[in-house]
Amino acid sequence: MPLVRIDLLKGKESAYRAAIGEVVYDAMRTTLDVPENDRFQIITEHGATDLILDRTYLGISRTDDCIVIQVTLNEGRDLAKKKAFYKAVADGLHERLKLRREDVFISLVEVKKENWSFGNGEAQYAPQ
């Protein structure tokens, strides 16, 4: 059950923001083995002073279109799956929205399965 947080500067249309979420979800399904309907996303717009991204860290040139995608997910996926996910998201956003691959910043946060509650005050994935 990934929880996806997508942060970007204010000013993009709702269809643009929705497309980002769709690309990320599709990439999770194809590369990270995320089940159908397992889609939980929070898309947040920020003012220019509230989203601070270094323009040249690691020699990568970033613009005002840079988006941050943070995915919290169960631990255990191997490096090949993670790399495939990064590429699928960057390629998908470039193809669908013409977003520069350099402007796609992704962070994965892995957690143990017992760290989720989907409702009812229960830990549905925790060992019984």
Question: Catalytic amino acids?
Answer: 2
Enumerate the β-bridge partners of residue 5: 42, 70
CB atoms near residue 2 (< 10 Å): 18
For the purposes of burial, counting CB atoms within 10 Å of the CB of 65, is it exposed (0-12), middle (13-18) or buried (19 or more)?
middle
Of the candidates 68, 71, 42, the residue with the CA atom closest to the CA atom of residue 54: 68
What are the distances in angstroms from CA 61 to CA 33, 43, 87, 128? 31, 23, 17, 48
